[in-house]
Structure formats: structure tokens, C-alpha cells
Amino acid sequence: MIRDFEYFAPTTLNEALTLLDKYRDDCKVIAGGQSLLILMRQGLVTPRYLIDIKGIKELNYLQFDAEEGLKIGALTTHRAIERSPLMRDGYRVLAEMERKLASVQTRNWGTIGGNLCHGDPAGDPAPVLIILKGTLKLSSLRGTRTLPVEDFTLDYFETALEPGELLTEIRVPPPTPRTGAAYTKFNIIENDMGMVGVGVSITLSPGDVCQDVRIALGGSAPTPLRAREAEEVLRGKEVTEELLKKAGEAAAEEAEPISDIQASAEYRREVIRVLVPRVGREALRRAQQR
Ligand SMILES: Cc1cc2nc3c(=O)[nH]c(=O)nc-3n(C[C@H](O)[C@H](O)[C@H](O)COP(=O)(O)OP(=O)(O)OC[C@H]3O[C@@H](n4cnc5c(N)ncnc54)[C@H](O)[C@@H]3O)c2cc1C
């Protein structure tokens, strides 16, 4: 049973921020409701005021320019990202991730902003945005600030959003030459939350040395995790099968998975150990082609 609440449906960002500021102690924002309504039905979240931002058109857009890269309004649905013609070259991994996220029905209504703000460590978008060096614009009546995606989730279902703040935009820098990115998740039910998700991006120097690398894990720690020790295994070297295997071992070691109904922590580590070289191999192949 959902507890009664007072409902607001602002149509502008300023209106939403004003409401959020006024009711900050006992309100909740709702976008697509795909995650929030489950928590409300279970009685885990019982806001007195519900601020429905889905009708704010100015937060629903996908734009690209060569200087600033990709800008995604927080209310853009998963489906819009999946189908956007902008998701090519360096951004193709975003559409590939979206295609495996939930069902078409959920993707049609759920938003990328809602997914990130839910703070589920197993969510698919965060690891992909981390390997793409994504940043988040957070807005409130006090102004705006920008955070790297990797710093946004603080703990299980806890984010860096402060009272009165909304996530308004996700930015991804322009694709860099000779960079390849890939993502996959391991799950029991197709298109459901991953047991483990792995994203890898590799940038090659002219001599085919790994100039830059990012490895991000989902479902492997209390937050989406950047596997920095695994990255160091590859950085500055020619990427070989042996090094990819070592990177997988390092990532499995630095992960902090839990045991739950889906899998034991040991099993998750094993999946990470296997997936990092597999996804790394694909990222490398894509980097060599660009
Ligand atoms: C059947 C099913 C399968 C799913 N499978 C997957 C999957 O495979 N992979 C995956 O990653 N996810 C999956 N999900 C989760 C789901 O896709 C996302 O969590 C969803 O996109 C959330 O977006 P929303 O707009 O519905 O957010 P809501 O449910 O409306 O909000 C979620 C949270 O974010 C807050 N919020 C929303 N927007 C903002 C904003 N702009 N600023 C500040 N706070 C905000 C809300 O207050 C709430 O706390 C699944 C969900 C369902 C129901």
C-alpha cells in the first residue's frame, strides 16, 4: 500500500527546483517511476510530497557538438538513447548497453537520470558512463555543480545529491581517436539487472601502446567501481592476451562483491575475472579499427 502524498507536476526546471527547495525535508522526485514506485509500494520510501518532473520538456534532449561532445537531458528515456542516431562511433557502447537494459516497456518510460539517481550498484548506465569519462550536472536554487559519474554514487542506493538538488544533464566528452569501448553484463534473466557488469575503454597511441584505459564494474561493490589497479596492468603497455588476463585477475581482486540471492561473492569475482579480458579484447579491437 502506498501512503498518501501530495502531488506536484511542475513543467519548468525553475518550478521544480522551487518546489524541491520548499519541501526538501519530506519530498521525493519521481521521473519514470520504474524504480521509485517499487520502493513506495514496499513502504521503504514514504514521501509526504511527490514532485513529478517527467513533464519538464527542457530536461529531455540529446545533443552533440564536436567541441563539447554529447549532452543528455536527465529525463531522456533509455529507449530514446538506444534509438538515437547520435549513438555511433565512440558512443555506440551507450546504445548497446541500453538495448540490454530491462524490457522495451521499461526503457520507454524509465529515464537515464532516474537510473543514476536510484544509485543501484548493479545499474548498467553508470559503468558505461564512467569508461566514457561522463560527468553530471547537478542543479539547485543555489546554482549548479559538476561531478564525474564515478564520484556520484556514495554507497548502496546513496548518491551525492544534496537536498534541493536535481540531476539535470549528463555529459560525455567527444570521442577520441583510436579509442574503443565495450560493455557487457552477466545475468540470469536476459535484459534484467546484471549480476556483474564490465565496461572497458582503451585508447591506443600511434605505436599501438595502451595510452589510456578505463575499466568500470557494476554489481561488484557498494557503488559502480572504477578498477584502477586493473587499469594500471594495461596502461603504457602493448595489450596482450596475457596482460588482459592479469587485468581480469586484478579487477577481481579489487572488487568488493557481496553474496546474495543471485550469486556468491566468490562467483561474482570469478565472473569479473572472465569478463574483463573478454570485454577488454573487444575494446581493443574497436580501438584498432578507429
Ligand atoms: C522490470 C525492470 C527491469 C529493470 N532492469 C534494469 C536493467 O537491466 N538495468 C538497469 O540498469 N536498470 C534496470 N531497471 C531499473 C530502471 O530501468 C531504472 O532504474 C529506471 O530507468 C529509473 O528511471 P525512472 O525515470 O523510472 O526513475 P524513478 O523511478 O522515477 O526514480 C528513481 C530515483 O531517482 C530519483 N530521481 C529521478 N530522476 C531524478 C533527477 N533528475 N534528479 C534527482 N533525482 C532523480 C528519484 O527520486 C528516485 O529516488 C529495471 C527496472 C524494472 C522495473
The reported pLDDT for the residue numbered 152 is 98
Distance 256 CA to ligand 1 centre (A): 23
Is residue 239 very low, low, confident or very high in pLDDT (cuts 50, 70, 90)? very high
Looking at the CA of residue 191, tell me the nearest atom of ligand 1.
8
User: How many domains is the chain built from?
Assistant: 3
Position 232 pLDDT exceeds 90? yes
- Give the CATH number for residue 140: 3.30.465.10
When pLDDT is cut at 50, 70 and 90, the band that residue 135 belongs to is very high
Residue 162 domain boundaries: 57-172
User: Quick one: what percent of the chain has pLDDT higher than 90?
Assistant: 93
pLDDT at residue 285 greater than cutoff 90: yes
State the distance from the centre of ligand 1 to the C-alpha of 13, rounded, in angstroms.
19
Query: At residue 67, does pLDDT exceed 90?
Result: yes
At residue 191, does pLDDT exceed 90? no
C-alpha span between 100 and 107 (Å, rounded): 10
pLDDT of 221 higher than 90? yes
Residue nearest to atom 31 of ligand 1 (CA): 114
Q: CATH number for the domain including 238?
A: 3.30.390.50
User: Considering only CA atoms, which residue is closest to atom 2 of ligand 1?
Assistant: 102
Q: Please give the share of the chain, as a percent, with pLDDT higher than 70.
A: 100
Say what the pLDDT of residue 176 is. 94
Domain termination residue (choose one: 121, 142, 172): 172
Of the three residues 139, 172, 205, the one that is the final residue of a domain is 172
- Assess whether pLDDT exceeds 90 at residue 188: no
Q: How confident is the model at residue 192 (pLDDT cuts 50, 70, 90)?
A: confident
Whether residues 125 and 190 fall in one domain: no
List pLDDT tens digits, range 29-39: 999 999 999 99
**Does ligand 1 lie within 6 Å of residue 16's CB atom?**
no
| Residue 34 in contact with ligand 1 by CB distance below 6 A | yes
Ligand 1 nearest-atom number relative to CA 125: 11
Do 212 and 280 lie in one domain? The reply is yes
Q: Is the CB of 192 under 6 A from ligand 1?
A: yes
